[in-house]
Structure formats: structure tokens, C-alpha cells
Structure 1
Amino acid sequence: MSAAVSQTLILAERDYMYGAGTLRLRVERVSTHRFIHDNDTWVMVEGAEIGWDGAPRDLRQVAVRASVLSR
């Protein structure tokens, strides 16, 4: 996984679980544990959601497609 702490991910709705719309997330922690769901590999990522104005919002923990983290 190449997502680094402090990196901001811009995640399409299809690339993270249980959200709506694009999610901007400043990474604080990436789990080393991977899991399979619907024939795809996912990783738990924790970080601060970044609002449209660039300001940090609430902390979120989301499952992200592992393939997104290696881009």
C-alpha cells in the first residue's frame, strides 16, 4: 500500500464503502489488515474528512479498495 500518513485521498463513491459522493480524506492511519468483499480487496483507512472549502471535518474510518491505495 502506498497511501501515506498526511496524504489526501480523493475517493470516488465506488472506491469506498457506505458513503455517498466523492470523499476527500486526509490519511492518519492505514490498517495492515486486508479483507475480501464482493471479490475485491479492501483496507480500513482512518483520517479527517476534508470539506469542499479545504477545512478538516470529522474523523472517519472507511473501507477503501486496496487498488486505490496503490495508485
Structure 2
Amino acid sequence: MATRWLFTTDGQPAYYQEGDYIYSKDGQTAFSVAGGWWYPINGGVAPYYVSDGWIYTTEGKPAFYFG
């Protein structure tokens, strides 16, 4: 599977996705993806979800987009 970079709303690279995992720019696993929701790798509630190529906070605010 190809690497997909994710950018902040102001265009800065923030994370990248490979398969069902999201990694920080330094290569640390940050989130796992299930059903469009991003779950923190060390547990907890999913703070983000994917819809139409954008990643939103649980409050519905755009946080990142696929580049």
C-alpha cells in the first residue's frame, strides 16, 4: 500500500498513513484506523474521523487532509 501524507489545514505535513496505521513525521506510530476513526495507539477515545478526504475532530472541525 502506498504512503499517504496528511497535512494540517494550513498545509504543513503532520502525519502519514500506511495501511491501518497513522505515523508521526518522525516515524512513531500515533493512531490506528478502524471504520474511519483514528484511535490513539496507546488507547482511549478516537479524537478524529475521516470523511471525504478530510480528517475532522469529534466536534466536526477540519484538522487534516490527505495530500
TM-score tier after normalising by the smaller chain length = 0.3 to 0.5
TM-score normalised over the length of structure 2: 0.33
TM-score normalised over the length of structure 1: 0.32
Larger RCO (alpha carbons 8 Å, 6+ apart): 1
More helix as a share of residues: 1
